[in-house]
Each structure stands twice: as C-alpha cells, then as structure tokens.
Amino acid sequence: MTKNVLITGGCGFIAHHVIDLFLQKTDWNITTLDRLDYSGNLNRLNEVMDKYDAQTKKRVNIVFHDLKAEINPLVGNFIHKNGKIDTILHLAASSHVDRSITHPMEFIQDNTIGTAHLLEFARRLDGLETFLYFSTDEIFGSAPPGVAYDERARYNSTNPYSASKAAAEEFCVAYENTYKIPMMVTHTMNVFGERQTPEKFIPLCIDRVRKGEKIYIHSNAARTEAGSRFYIHASDVADALLFLITKKPACPTDYGHAKCAKFNIVGKEETDNLTLAKLVAQAQGKELNYEMLDFHNSRPGHDLRYALDGSLMRSLGWEPTIAFSERIKQVSDWYLQNTRWLEL
C-alpha cells in the first residue's frame, strides 16, 4: 500500500535530496512541512521537481508552517491532503553552530520545542508506522583520536546547537516510552552535496578555489593538525533513511535502548579538512591557497574532531558505495556549472 510520508524541512538542504530519492524509488505521497526561512529554499525543491512528470509532482504536497507553533487542526488538514500520514521524518532544524552560540534561544525554540510540537501531532495519529528523528553526531561532542562513538555513547554537548538536538532526542525517547510512538533516531555528520548553502565548508572551499582566495583550515593550537570529519553526501543519507524506513531493523538489545532504535549514518572514510580542501582544489586543477587557524580561539564551541561508528548500519547491509574523492569531484563540477548556488 502507498505510504503517506510527512517530511519536515523538505525545502532544506538534506530533506530536498530525500524527497528527490523517494520520488525516484517509491510511489509514496510526500507532504513537506517548511517555514521557508534562510535554511528552506523553494528553489531547491523546484529544481529537483522539474525533472518529474505532472503525475509525480502531484505526489508532493507543500505546507507552510513554523514548528515553534503547535500543529492545529487546520494545519493538520493540509498535512493530510494526500492521505492520512503513516510515516514521519523529522529533518527540520536550525543547524548553524556559530549562530547557535550568538542566538541560543532560537535553537531551543526551533530544535527542542519544535520537535515537541511535532511529537504532540504524532501521538494523536492512528496507525503511525514510523517516526524518524534526524539527530546529529554533535550531541556526543569531540572525539579523541582513535575513538568513534556508537549509538550508545553518552551526550556531551559542546554548544547550544548540539544541546538543543540532544534535548529533542530525549523527548523522542520519552514519547516512545510513554506514548508508544514507533521511534527511530539517526545520527549523521557533515553532510554535503548539491544546493548546500555557500557558508558551509565544502561549497565555501569550491567558491574560494574558483576565485583564487585563501581558505582557512581549522586546526589544533599548534596549527599542525587539521580538524577531521566523516563527510557524507546527502544522497547517501537519503538512501540510508529509505533503507531504515523500508527494512525497519530493530536496534540490538545490548545497546540498552532497544525500544528506541538508534542508527549512525556515517561516511566511508575519515578525512581531515586540509586533505578535503586539497581535493576541492585538485578537482578544479588549481593549487590550494590556505592558512591553518587555531580552531577553538577562532571558533569557540566547535570541536576539532567528530567521529561516529557506522558498524551497526554496515552489519544490517547498508553503507555508502561511492568513494569520497569521487563525490567531491561530482559536487565541485556541479557547483562550477551552477555558480548561482555559490552566490546566494
């Protein structure tokens, strides 16, 4: 039977890739809930929708709503326009760490209160099959060398953004335990891809290499070691979410939270930011102009290294299939052919 899926933040960077993949690979009806602020951009969704026929486009229902307010019956009627919702993917969030440091209350309202309002909507639904909350690696904080956090790791938020996401995640666990909402939680990190805002590191690098400008690499205090991440393309994230919704794997009971299954969605390889910037320059056939900066003095509240353990998803049969260097070349080429997305 055709699913009716609600995706929050559908005009945002990651979620519009999710909608694109779902339209390609399923016959599901999709409702996207978005407030269309600086993160949500209808141009994203419009670009990916252009390649589909009229019948496919009818499967997408766009509803304007800010989750800082509750979902009242009127908004609910718009959400259910294409059929009663049976699956929810909560991807909407404020996610810019720097902004969370200067405006923490905005992130509490958007990420924690907003999630609670969506959970209240979800617990009134009959027949809800899945509520998937899209969390972040940052709730675990900085990872020491050699350490990759699995799904059981303790929270160690180092900035208001990660704290607001950790609080929302705990509400999801509580709503499953209290109200029996069928919950999944995912953690991922450093997602990149086409139509990402140019303030993010990879499009910023692409743009500065294109213009011959200097790139600043956040590093340790001695400026000898660049920060590192497990970068992952947005379409790989979308594929992992589709895998989880369709397979509905149970979290191993020895993880201690089997009632709320949690899964890390992780890139294939760890890459330091200097190597990444060099890959971007190589993709354009140019030399990299860069300077190392002490990350904490220049960006308080940030961490030098994040790392997630992706072994659980691998054991279930999912991992990215395309090499990171190939993805960087693909994304660099796309931005150079679509430079308007570097000039927003």
Catalytic residues: 161
User: How far is it, in rounded angstroms, from Cα 326 to Cα 279?
Assistant: 10
**Cβ pair 144, 307 in contact under 8 A:** no
User: How far is it, in rounded angstroms, from Cα 325 to Cα 332?
Assistant: 11
Residues 6+ apart with CB under 8 A from 303: 138, 141, 142, 143, 158, 227
Q: Hey, which residues does 134 pair with through a beta bridge?
A: 186
Please state the φ and ψ torsions of residue 108, each to the nearest 5 degrees: -65, -45
Alpha carbon distances (Å) from 56 to 11, 61, 80: 17, 11, 18
> What separation, in Å, do the N-terminal and C-terminal C-alpha atoms of the chain show?
41
Choose among 240, 229, 239, 223: nearest CA to 292: 223
Pairing mode, if any, of strands 232-233 and 215-219? Answer: unpaired
User: How far is it, in rounded angstroms, from Cα 130 to Cα 141?
Assistant: 28
Give the distance, in angstroms, between the CA of residue 339 and the centroid of all CA atoms in the same chain.
Answer: 23
**DSSP, residue by residue, 94-153:** ---HHHHHH-HHHHIIIIIIHHHHHHHHHHT-TT--EEEEEEEGGGG----TT--B-TTP
